[in-house]
Structure 1
């Protein structure tokens, strides 16, 4: 099949990842930018389509590095609008336990459409909720991503530490370790794409220190290393979490991260607010990624991520909605 070439012509402004100037626009061939044009220049090869961009600004697609698509359905629910994180979660877990495949499909499409309308073309979603009947949650998300034409890092989240065993989630939203790890292997085998043009990738994402066991954290780290995929979790989002780690594990969050084999460049963390200066240095030296989620942090009044200090020490900083 012949290549399809589009000329995005003479934009009002054009921003590239490496600050190259291209006032004449750019040429896209089968979804790949193949040429940046100076003012007055024309494409070196004939094009099939021309888009007059003189009233448009062209910029790279934004990347959202942390999301929960399913929570789109409950983000404005009255009973939790003024609750701190732990109370918010405890109130919502029984609601989320009733999530159906159809509801997840709808939530995923709404979340992806909102992102696209904001200029976001790549998103990482952290899905850790697998109540009975929703075992194929990530498969549903893959279908939604492909239908809307985005790119996504879909994380196979997990919770196996229920409230009865000292965790936070209710019993009907957790899974056993064998189920979690078997499904993680299945998803990597079926969907993880590599190299240029990859649309779907899979990462492993135990939900948080207060909802999974240390065994799951270690097993996911070992699988990620063996299968060459990434690791993701929430960390240091609230002071309650620091207190939980100190009480349950006898250590602070970054020490816990190191103890389970997660302190390295394969890992990126959501929120990352309550780190001290020594921990910021350790995270940067290890090349850990941090997703700063300002709207969520303001919503919970949980604090502000030290993005500049973390980046200065070597951490990779991203943004999440």
Structure 2
């Protein structure tokens, strides 16, 4: 009897190529677990990438994201900005083009903790990719937005899975990780809302002028900022500046400045264990009592109580040395 068999002409697939999105998501969670031993933001060998973990549901609270991409692997977050609700969960990712203060709640539990990857945006990498995309004629007209929530597609899911596999290897992570981050940027910039994100990052027109003013506020929040001067530098009248600023951030320039100061004060109190009076002076408040009132109004607790809660509950690593924005997640 001839036991010869017809050769299988089906090309061999890489281990992850046959996985569907739900299978990939389960594998992502397995790979993210050892990278996130603590609640809060866990550092990685890549300075612009952190892994977030939360073992409990979190009630709606104010946040301030740096420009970046948040990919949730398990659990769910909802962001609230003005009348808009932004869902980011295992089926949706969030892209932030300019830092805007909004509020957020989290669904998580000890049995199914929230696990997410936060990629702080490297503008040089994004700009290089956008230039190449433009050279290939893929530019589309779109209205810029400060936040976008977009469904996760298969190509992005595969890139994220490969990234997490590499991040679990001490040898591969620093060498191959940056290339996979670049691919993830590419998938986001060419995804369903890629044209919106690209329009936001090119920062043309009024959106670009407001984005520049926001960057100035983040750099100089501890100083006496003249909002009229910011308007003049943007080439806009104070009335026009206020209107466009609120359209993009859902808040006024003065309130944005206060929010930035309060977020920064909360962070430095949690990290450095300084007093509320010291923190208020460092972020530009002249009146400690006014600082305490506005802090409690925003966070629902007094400065000392909130700083203690953050130290006890979450890992709060130092900011990246390359950070140009105040970030409080």
TM-score, with length taken from structure 1: 0.29
More helix by share: 2
